[in-house]
């Protein structure tokens, strides 16, 4: 810092203020001057350095104050992909390059790699299309005079060692919301072979010892038990995400 406001603040006052100032000390400073110098000293100690570093504190991805991280994310139109602030800062740092890939297959691969997944495979699903009828101008698949061509369906297969959680599921879907092309529609996402869009089947069985065995890697709060009447019960912090399909299987759909 080139100067301290404390050393110059009294120069901003007029000669009359110095003459009229009361209760002067041995240095000739009255109570008004001493009070203003105390205020300026506090400003020098706690605020001036923030002003001197305003660009770093509000703009530089790796230096900005924590409370400004979310605003920088919004500035670039980024999605929330992690609760780790360091990851979020790195995401902001490469925002321009990431935005250049937005809406593409490589956008998905980059973002999910950024999140820590081991492999990302984006599959474009086959779609049937036909030619216009020479008499009606449209057919079953394409009706150019009445509606747009259907979006291309695709799926994403993810693998990794990260434990599945509701938070991770939200981050995965945030990427879809951010990156999905305008002419494509997600059909399914699998994580280590299990669907997290169409729903995960919760497998339950009773072992040879009469114990109820079950597992839902996508919901750590899930628990199940059999009461004295033989009725099956389950509990979860995300109970609204569970349903029974037509076969009577318990399905978890985040």
In this structure, how many other beta carbons lie within 10 angstroms of the beta carbon of residue 91?
A: 24
Report residue 250 CA to chain centroid gap.
Answer: 29
| Strand ranges (E), the chain | 119-124, 152-159, 184-191, 194-195, 200-201, 203-206, 212-215, 223-226, 232-235, 242-244, 250-252
Task: Answer for the pair 37, 31: CB distance below 8 angstroms, yes or no.
Answer: no
The burial class, CB within 10 Å (0-12 / 13-18 / 19+), for 66 is exposed
Determine the Cα–Cα distance for residues 162 and 160; give it in Å rounded to an integer. Answer: 6
Task: Answer for the pair 71, 148: CB distance below 8 angstroms, yes or no.
Answer: no
Q: List the domain boundaries for the chain.
A: 5-52, 101-195, 200-252
pLDDT at 244: 77
pLDDT at 159: 94
> Residue 53 has which token pair?
């570093």
Q: What is the pLDDT along the chain (254 residues), one digit of tens a residue?
A: 457 888 888 888 888 888 888 888 888 888 998 999 899 888 888 888 777 777 777 778 888 888 888 888 888 888 888 888 888 898 888 888 888 999 999 999 999 998 899 999 999 876 655 555 555 555 555 555 444 556 788 899 999 998 877 778 888 888 988 998 888 888 888 888 877 766 566 777 787 787 887 766 667 788 888 888 888 888 888 788 787 776 677 777 76
């Amino acid at each position: 810092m080139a100067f301290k406001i404390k050393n110059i603040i009294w120069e901003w006052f007029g000669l009359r203020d110095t003459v009229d100032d009361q209760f002067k000390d041995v240095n000739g400073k009255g109570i008004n001057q001493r009070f203003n110098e105390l205020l300026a000293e506090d400003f020098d100690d706690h605020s001036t350095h923030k002003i001197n570093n305003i660009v770093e504190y509000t703009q530089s991805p790796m230096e900005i104050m924590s409370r400004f991280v979310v605003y920088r994310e919004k500035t670039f139109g980024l999605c929330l992909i992690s609760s780790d602030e360091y990851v979020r800062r790195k995401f902001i740092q490469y925002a321009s390059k990431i935005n250049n890939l937005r809406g593409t297959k490589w956008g998905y691969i980059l973002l999910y790699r950024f999140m820590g997944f081991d492999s990302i495979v984006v599959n474009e699903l086959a779609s049937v299309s036909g030619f216009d009828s020479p008499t009606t101008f449209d057919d079953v698949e394409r009706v150019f005079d009445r509606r747009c061509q259907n979006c291309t369906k695709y799926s994403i297969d993810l693998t990794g060692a990260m434990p599945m959680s509701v938070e991770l599921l939200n981050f995965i879907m945030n990427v879809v919301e951010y990156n999905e092309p305008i002419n494509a529609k997600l059909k399914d996402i699998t994580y280590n072979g299990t669907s997290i869009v169409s729903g995960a089947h919760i497998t339950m069985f009773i072992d040879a010892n009469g114990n109820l065995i079950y597992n839902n890697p996508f919901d750590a709060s899930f628990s199940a038990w059999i009461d004295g009447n033989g009725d099956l019960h389950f509990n979860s912090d995300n109970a609204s995400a569970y349903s029974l399909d037509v076969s009577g299987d318990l399905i978890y759909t985040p």
